[in-house]
A and B are shown apart, each in its own frame.
Chain A
Amino acid sequence: MLELNNLNAGYGFLQVLWDVSLHVDDGEFVALVGPNGAGKSTTLKTISGLVKPASGEVNLNGSPIAGMEAHKISAERGLSYISESLNLFTGMSVHENLLLGAYIIEDRRKQRETQDFVYELFPRLKERSNQLAGTLSGGERKMLAIGRGIMSEPSMLLVDEPSLGLAPNLTMDVFHALETLRQSGVTILLVEQNVNTTLKITDRAYVLEQGQIVLEGPSKELLKNEHVRSAYLGV
């Protein structure tokens, strides 16, 4: 489904990613973990088109998307990116945020169906549907960002640090929602710092350090890996 080959990217003269290669197959739930500043978010931004790659390939469903404009990648290629800063429309209601999530879908009935699905996934959002997004709590914002991200019925979902700043029980809620999404057939690439939980729920994982992939493999095996255990799990 998604394939990165020798991707180099960065901001201006600062190169962040060095020859990053990874792939996510259809229906897989893959994690990208690593320390602060390793380039995890940059990887997702480059895939979604917000950062232009210096060199290398990004293929989605077999066709190249590297260098394409961000709005075209999400509108034409079925990719949805849920950023770390969420980028919610804070002056609009929850309902309007969700409608904007379905901006590329013109069919009203389809919009409503997906919205019902989102409200089922996060009943809290339904209670607050007329409230301004800027007045929601941290956890509710995460839910709204994820809900808005899936309103476009993406086949590929990039999620950046959904657990950041959340209480542990809310974190679990968010992870459960991602699992539900995966079961409904969405392919997910998840960036996380919460390595322990992430490796327990994902199929495979990549470890990114200083802009390079240093480890990859099935999540269960990575949990037992010496390097991962000492650097990320603290055991």
Chain B
Amino acid sequence: MKAAMKNNLTVLTTVATMSALLAGCSNNPTHATACSLPDGPNLERAISAARFDLETGCEHEFDGYFQRLLTIAEGDPKKENKASFSDFLLWANDAGLLSKAQARQTYNRYFGIKYVSLVSDYSVCAQTCPHQSDVMRDMNRELADKEQGLLKISADRLNYTRASNLYQETELVLEATCEACGPIE
């Protein structure tokens, strides 16, 4: 009697394990398909697809999706693209994928004139000058992102030129200011 009961328990355990495994297997293919980056030339469609995927388990791939959307948008540069990316980032914030600060920094890195690389809390002498070359290198990278966002995606030559001029002016003024601040103590 005891042996029969033990056998039944073993069978039940095996069945339960198999069911769990099968259920897991049936979920996996869906997960893999959902995380394939959007394709095609239509930005709005790509954004919809990205939003769906990011809501259904692919949030860890956010950066990859965002970069793909940027690439797709380059195929059809227009001013309206800015609004599309703004909406997408606001949605990402609402969906809990990005903090407000991250959304703001990402948007401005690509579509703003000001440099998020220059965000700081302390004086130029105290905080920026000790890392002047790093700051300029970061700004230079950001300028490349602005070229993509403003020029190649939004066809906004005017604001890209302003961002580019701001880079040159900042470089000059920082050089003079850091020289005036004196050696780092």
Q: Do A and B come from one complex?
A: no
Q: Which residues of B contact A (CB under 8 A)?
A: none
